[in-house]
Amino acid sequence: MVIEAMSEEAVDRIFHALADATRRDIVARTMVGGRSVSALASHYAMSFPAVHKHIAVLERAGLVTKERDGREQVVRARVEEVRRASRLLDELAGLWVARLDRLGEVVAEPQEGEGS
């Protein structure tokens, strides 16, 4: 199970990182190739330092890397880690669907004292 293979802290960092729309967009933009921090910042109505902070959150979660290329810093998605996060979300969704299915079964069961 993916959840067991990850520490609670790692899972928390991933959920925190993906909880923000800007960070999700940064991950999506960097999945197709590296982007400089300045190129990424041009897409958002916020300061360069604010975008840089979003990237730092994604780095701590292990979803992106940042490396220097000359004068620029290039951000790249860590595709395997993004896939791992996707599997984690799929697994959690599966758990909730199973719980809701079971709840539906319990609600549909005739209760004692009801007419049959």
What six digits make up the tokens of 30? 């960097």
What six digits make up the tokens of 115? 């007419």
Give the integer Cα–Cα distance in Å for 56 and 44.
16
Orientation angle between helical segments 8-18 and 21-31, nearest 10 degrees: 90
We find that the CATH architecture of domain 2-108 is Orthogonal Bundle (1.10)
Better-predicted residue by pLDDT, 57 or 10 = 57
What would you report as the CA-atom Rg of the chain, rounded to the nearest whole angstrom?
A: 20
Mean pLDDT of 104-113: 82
Locate the domains of the chain by residue range.
Answer: 2-108
pLDDT averaged over every residue in the chain: 90
In this structure, what are the phi and psi dihedrals at residue 35, rounded to the nearest 5 degrees?
-130, 140
CB neighbours (10 Å) of residue 58? 29
Q: Is the pLDDT of residue 115 over 70?
A: no
